[in-house]
Amino acid sequence: MEYFLKTGYIDLDSTFNCGQCFRWQNVGDDTFAGWSGSRKIIVRQEKEGIILQNVEKSDIPYWSDYFCVDEDYESLKQTFSQDSTLKSACDFAPGIRLLRQDSFETLISFIISQNNNIKRITCIIERLCEQFGENGTFPTPARLSCLEKSDLSPLRAGFRDRYILDAAKKVESGKISLDEIEKMPYNIAKSELMKIVGVGEKVADCVLLFGFHRLEAFPKDVWIKRVLSDYYPNGLPACTAGYEGIAQQFLFHFIRNREE
């Protein structure tokens, strides 16, 4: 079935290509096919929302959460625009929207993202799903936890193989509970994720922001460190309070694309 999901203005191209997700492909004008966990869908951009194609009725609430229909982005952009740099970032890509993604998929994806570019991250994740998922789904912790390092060599993920396996084994064994992390205060949740080999502050913040929708998380990569150095040496402006993670996405996309 098809279903119209009212999101307000959303730019799917900017949203899917701003470094927060890696499993979407452009398949036509304003139309994308992609996955989240075990769910596959085609979405088409419309003026005030998106059309979900081939969607099961029972999955509509999932995609409503995924595309954050409950977030008032127009008000947020007005608030951010009190700051001149953020106003430029919002004007540059006004249709960016933060996604609520599957937490385990996000954890593994951002482990893979370390010292990597978006094209290569996408290819590694694609190979991971082809090798160990079921019909293209993202592999489960149980599936990955029983593997050895040599099993991952076809992914060509390099040093990240060890980190992927450690994450899967700790999640599958219950040493790291993603359900419990969701309930934890931000700093404790971040420390818990950093118990996984290879997960530092930046990856932990990415997982909290993109996989748990913790909007106070503010991942700092080379682009954001440049933004902070050039524009915010004393920290982000007060207008971002509580929504630092969303501000980060506007700033990251703006600076990266302006300078590339």
User: Does residue 80 lie in a domain region?
Assistant: no
Among residues 220, 160, 228, 226, the alpha carbon closest in space to that of 190 is found at 220
Do 123 and 187 have their domain in common? yes
Query: pTM above 0.85?
Result: yes
User: Does residue 134 lie in a domain region?
Assistant: yes
The residue assigned the tokens 């999901």 is 5
Distance CA 205, CA 194 (A): 10
User: Does residue 65 lie in a domain region?
Assistant: yes
Do 194 and 107 have their domain in common? yes
User: Does residue 25 lie in a domain region?
Assistant: yes
Check whether 119 has a pLDDT greater than 80: yes
Do 121 and 205 have their domain in common? yes
Do 133 and 51 have their domain in common? no
Q: For the segment 174-214, what is each residue's pLDDT rounded down to a tens digit? A: 999 999 999 999 999 999 999 999 999 999 999 999 999 99
Distance CA 102, CA 39 (A): 10
Q: CATH number of the domain at 56, please.
A: 3.30.310.260
Helix (H) or strand (E) holding 41: strand 39-45
Do 55 and 115 have their domain in common? no
The residue assigned the tokens 């596959």 is 40
Do 148 and 194 have their domain in common? yes
Q: CATH number of the domain at 191, please.
A: 1.10.340.30
The dihedrals phi and psi of 42, each to the nearest 5 degrees, come to: -115, 135
User: Does residue 240 lie in a domain region?
Assistant: no
User: Does residue 51 lie in a domain region?
Assistant: yes
Query: Which residue range forms the structural domain that includes residue 171?
Result: 103-212
**Residue where a domain stops, chosen among 172, 197, 212:** 212
What mean pLDDT value characterizes the chain?
96
Q: For the segment 127-185, what is each residue's pLDDT rounded down to a tens digit? A: 999 999 999 899 999 999 999 999 999 999 999 999 999 999 999 999 999 999 999 99
Q: What's the angle, vertex CA 15, arms to CA 235 and CA 49, rounded to 5?
A: 120
Check whether 259 has a pLDDT greater than 90: no
pLDDT score recorded for residue 258: 82
User: Does residue 184 lie in a domain region?
Assistant: yes
Q: For the segment 240-252, what is each residue's pLDDT rounded down to a tens digit? A: 999 999 999 999 9
Q: For the segment 213-237, what is each residue's pLDDT rounded down to a tens digit? A: 999 999 999 999 999 999 999 999 9
Number of domains composing the chain: 2
Do 150 and 204 have their domain in common? yes
pLDDT score recorded for residue 260: 59
Residue 42: pLDDT band (50, 70, 90) is very high
Residue pair 104/178 in contact by the 8 Å Cβ criterion = yes
The residue assigned the tokens 């909007």 is 215
Per DSSP, the three-state class of 241 is coil
Collect all residues with Cβ–Cβ distance below 8 Å to 171 and sequence separation of at least 6: 104, 107, 141, 145, 177, 178
Do 208 and 112 have their domain in common? yes
Q: For the segment 15-28, what is each residue's pLDDT rounded down to a tens digit? A: 999 999 999 999 99
Q: For the segment 102-111, what is each residue's pLDDT rounded down to a tens digit? A: 999 999 999 9
Check whether 114 has a pLDDT greater than 90: yes
Long-range contacts of the stretch 148-156 (C-beta < 8 A, 24+): 154/127, 155/124, 155/127, 155/128, 155/131, 156/124, 156/127
User: Does residue 13 lie in a domain region?
Assistant: yes
Do 122 and 208 have their domain in common? yes
Residue pair 124/109 in contact by the 8 Å Cβ criterion = no
Do 64 and 112 have their domain in common? no
